[in-house]
Amino acid sequence: LGPTVCVGEILVEIVATTVGDGFREAQPLIGPFASGAPAIFISQCGRLGGAAAMVGAVGNDDFGHVNIDRLRRDGVDVSTISIDPDYPTGSAFVRYRKDGSRDFVYNIARSAAARFGWSQGVRDLINRSGHLHVMGSALSVPSAREVIDKAVDIVKARGGTLSVDPNIRKELQLDEDTERRFARLVSAADLLLPSGEELERAASVSGEAEAIRRLFEVGVKEIVLKRGSLGATYFGRDGDRIDAPAFLVDEVDPTGAGDCFGGAYLTCRRLGMSPDEALTYGSAAGARNVTIRGPMEGAGTRQELDAFIASTERRS
């Protein structure tokens, strides 16, 4: 039914190589790496051989080409990534605190990443796409909202499917309009990919079981809950539950795990695999990505993930 399309921010990321509670202690930094959660997701789809296309924008600068070249190499259709003549490519600096958490310095609002919009090219792509993936975080970008609203309506009307990764942390306060849009997006989702507390946030209730029940009630068809190094769990509408233990790896850089997991899970499902098989590839993609520094440097091909699965133990 056509390619998987992802809409959202495209960034470069500059990454600390040591742990420190300030950027001065976290030296040296390395990069630029191709990044942005939606770009990581679609990179993993393309690397696994699924038909994939990206909608977003970069600046007319070298950082933009880092992204476009990378996604093209991954097999992603980049023809709907627009090049903004006036604004630079968005960027993020990330460092790791001693307590294991991360701190980001973003330049998105005044970058090309926040300025893409609906166009004839985007319309043509959406009109032939079979699946749309949206990150909740994209709803905070006004220009992305319009693209997402239109794209969701078109894809659903032509019998395509929608996946949603809430990608909204509980510290983030959303205004009422964004909350409403988010709720609408969640209820239209065929596949919901929350991590941790986002499950309850997406359902607006507390308690895992209650949240799952509520989400199926509003229309979600399939839920996969990501639990970091503890693994992931699939919930089906029919009451099915599959727990996928995490692979045992040394985490070097957690950025991008959830996006690689989601891109791999979705692509495998679209290629006809069962939830169980798709969970194995998703878990492998997430785990492999955290072993390599850089947001999407560890996104794997089918051969790389097969080799990883064959050679890596899982938690019991």
| Shorter beta-carbon distance to ligand ADP: residue 93 or 308 | 308
Q: How far apart are CA 219 and CA 198, in angstroms?
A: 17
Based on its alpha-carbon atoms, the radius of gyration of the chain, rounded to whole angstroms, reads: 18
Q: Which is nearer to ligand ADP, 203 or 246 (CB)?
A: 246
Query: Cβ 26 to ligand ADP, closest distance in Å?
Result: 20
Chain center to CA of 5: 12
Eight-class DSSP state of 314: B
Distance, in Å, from the CA atom of 90 to the CA atom of 109, rounded to the nearest integer, reads 8
Nearest Cα to 90, choosing from 136, 144, 53? 144
Kindly state the smallest distance separating residue 233's Cβ from ligand ADP, in Å.
Answer: 9
Q: Could you tell me the smallest distance in angstroms from the CB atom of residue 228 to ligand ADP?
A: 4
**CB 295, min distance to ligand ADP, A:** 10
Residues binding ligand ADP (CB under 6 A): 195, 226-229, 231-232, 246-247, 249, 251, 254, 257-258, 261, 283, 286-287, 290
Question: Edge-to-edge, what's the strand order for the sheet holding 29-35?
Answer: 29-35, 11-19, 90-96, 102-107
Q: Which is nearer to ligand ADP, 76 or 249 (CB)?
A: 249
**Min dist. Cβ of residue 251 to ligand ADP (A):** 4
- Cα torsion 29, 140, 69, 193 to 10°: value is 90
Q: Which is nearer to ligand ADP, 111 or 195 (CB)?
A: 195
**Cα torsion for 290, 296, 298, 300, to the nearest 10°?**
130
Q: Which is nearer to ligand ADP, 114 or 232 (CB)?
A: 232
Beta carbon of residue 230, minimum distance to ligand ADP (angstroms, whole number): 7
Contact between 89 and 61 (Cβ < 8 Å): yes
CB of 42 to ligand ADP, least distance (A): 15
How far is 39 from 25, CA to CA, in rounded Å? 29
The helix/strand/coil state of 24 is: coil
Rounded Cα–Cα distance for residues 15 and 81 (Å): 24
Closest contact distance (angstroms) between CB of 299 and ligand ADP is 12
- Phi and psi dihedrals of 149, rounded to 5? -55, -50
Query: DSSP 3-state assignment of 309?
Result: helix
Strands 52-59 and 222-226: what pairing? unpaired
Give the Cα separation of 310 and 304 in Å (integer): 10
